[in-house]
A and B are shown apart, each in its own frame.
Chain A
Amino acid sequence: MNDITHRPKKLKIATTSLAGCFGCHMSFLDIDERILPLLDLIEFDRSPITDIKHCGPCDIGLIEGGICNAENVHVLREFRRNCKILISIGACAVTGGLPAQRNHLDLGSCLTEVYLTEPGLAHGHIPNDPELPLPLDKVHPLHEVVKIDYFIPGCPPSGDAIWKFLTDLIAGKTPELGHGLIKYD
């Protein structure tokens, strides 16, 4: 990898949230003012921070959230096609997380219970607008759908963990978290 002190151009980073809660993105912002020196080294491509809708060729892709619907699969593949290094960030991306707790239930009965039979939903109906992406019968962690290069576990990983991981990676080292930064909860 490039030496970070003599870099001719900035690394491009794209980020997105699939079946996640944006908690990992919030945690990313917990690096606080360190985002300023980081911005000397990187620039954002597709990300909620830039509002760019599609990801171009990038050095690093960071994805939070697992795969719960057809659109998630398309976005994940777009990232994989464009990012040299793809990182699965947070419990949902790494393990399926909370959304995957429906995996041993039948999807039809989940939808029925949530939209039809739950008390107080007398006139409910299962959403069927063609704009809505179809849910998958199971929620998957990212590495079950495309090759993932690195994983940052945690729900969410702390800002310090994300900072350590990214700065290791940008410096060309194998990222390590270590006691206190590695966590699954």
Chain B
Amino acid sequence: MNDTFQLDGASVPFAPGQTVMQAALAAGHYIPHLCYHPEFKPHGSCKLCTVKIGNHTAASCTMPAEAGLEIESDIEELNALRRTLVQMLFAEGNHFCPSCEKSGNCVLQALGYDLEVHTAGFRHMYPDRPLDASHPEILLDFNRCVLCELCVRASGEVDGKSVFALAGRGITKHLIVNSASGLLKDTNIALTDKAMEVCPVGVILKKRVGFSKPIGERRYDQRPISAQALDDAPRTPTGAKHE
């Protein structure tokens, strides 16, 4: 129970079975992440949570904590790579934040702010991804999907419905809806589903409630994601608490 590893020079306690990410967040140390969600099994796909252990790198959301590890995370070398990952996500989708309902509450955007990403840098791909507005209560805007599979995991594991899946490979990988027509109206998704609350970006949206919170009162207006994410993470019983 009292085993520890070192993270950026700080001693982090962990319980058996915890990942580096879980232990770090529980002890009040933020490691940037996008596809990790405290309530789901790690997916290990976005690589924003990459840390260095000696000369190796690993995704901290999937890596089991081990006593004595010496881990680096908040270093310019890794933050520069994280910035590039965020820039690629912006360039490969259509992220027009000024007209996005998720703006201010969006994890991708908040990561960009925290990492001081001023531009996508790359050539924008402006893909053609039509919306699915077929469902009376729910809108799908595929332009902003970052392929984190949180909706897939939530709909399958929690809702028992498997409304969503990812199809294709590489740059053609995309989110699909599991119905004969491919349209959301022909699924049994409901507003109360877990899949409705997990999307970190602005893809799965409840209709007719957009822009209800004024600028200044949205989730990441007050506090950067590096502070907010610590509040969202469960604490371990090791007694470690931040602030």
Query: Interface on A for B, CB 8 Å cutoff?
Result: 88, 91, 94-98, 100-101, 103-104, 138, 141, 143-144, 148, 150-153, 155, 176-179, 182-185
**Contact: A95 with B96, CB < 8 Å?**
yes
B40 interface residue per 8 A CB criterion = no
**Contact: A179 with B113, CB < 8 Å?**
yes
What CA separation (Å) do A178 and B112 show in the bound complex? 11
Q: What does DSSP make chain B's interface, helix, strand, loop or mixed?
A: loop
Q: What does DSSP make chain A's interface, helix, strand, loop or mixed?
A: loop
Complex interface: stretch among B2-10, B124-132, B158-166, B186-194: B124-132
**Contact: B119 with A88, CB < 8 Å?**
yes
What CA separation (Å) do A151 and B98 show in the bound complex? 17
What CA separation (Å) do A96 and B91 show in the bound complex? 11
- The residue that B97 contacts in the complex, of A151, A155, A177, with Cβ under 8 A, is A155
Residue of B with least CB distance to A105: B128
Residue of A with least CB distance to B126: A103
Query: Interface on B for A, CB 8 Å cutoff?
Result: 90, 94-100, 103-104, 109, 112-114, 116, 118-121, 123-124, 126-129, 215, 223-224
- The residue that A151 contacts in the complex, of B94, B114, B118, B124, with Cβ under 8 A, is B118
A contact residues around B129 at 8 Å (CB): 104
What CA separation (Å) do A58 and B176 show in the bound complex? 51
Interface centre among A153, A177, A184 (most CB of B within 10 A): A184
A contact residues around B97 at 8 Å (CB): 91, 155, 184-185
| Closest Cβ–Cβ distance, residue B111 to chain A (whole Å) | 11
A contact residues around B104 at 8 Å (CB): 185
What are some 11 contacts across the A-B interface (CB < 8 A)? Answer: A91-B98, A98-B96, A104-B126, A144-B123, A144-B124, A176-B116, A178-B116, A179-B113, A179-B224, A183-B113, A184-B98
With known contacts A95-B120, A97-B98, A184–B103 Cβ distance under 8 A: yes
A178-B116, A179-B223 known; 18 other A-B pairs, CB under 8 Å?
A: A95-B124, A96-B124, A96-B126, A100-B96, A100-B126, A101-B94, A104-B129, A143-B119, A144-B124, A153-B118, A153-B119, A155-B97, A176-B116, A177-B118, A184-B109, A184-B113, A185-B103, A185-B215
With known contacts A150-B118, A177-B118, A141–B99 Cβ distance under 8 A: no
Residue of A with least CB distance to B103: A185
**Contact: A100 with B124, CB < 8 Å?**
yes
**Contact: B119 with A184, CB < 8 Å?**
no
What CA separation (Å) do A157 and B173 show in the bound complex? 33
Residue of A with least CB distance to B98: A155
B contact residues around A183 at 8 Å (CB): 113
What CA separation (Å) do A177 and B114 show in the bound complex? 10
Residue of A with least CB distance to B96: A101
The 7 closest A-B pairs by CB, nearest first: A184-B97, A155-B98, A104-B128, A151-B118, A151-B119, A103-B126, A185-B103
**Contact: A152 with B118, CB < 8 Å?**
yes
With known contacts A144-B123, A153-B119, A185-B104, A95–B113 Cβ distance under 8 A: no
**Contact: A95 with B123, CB < 8 Å?**
no
B contact residues around A101 at 8 Å (CB): 94, 96, 99
A contact residues around B224 at 8 Å (CB): 179
What CA separation (Å) do A88 and B109 show in the bound complex? 19
A contact residues around B123 at 8 Å (CB): 144
B contact residues around A103 at 8 Å (CB): 126
B contact residues around A151 at 8 Å (CB): 118-119
**Contact: A94 with B118, CB < 8 Å?**
yes
A contact residues around B96 at 8 Å (CB): 91, 95, 97-98, 100-101
B contact residues around A182 at 8 Å (CB): 112-113, 116, 118
| Closest Cβ–Cβ distance, residue B86 to chain A (whole Å) | 11
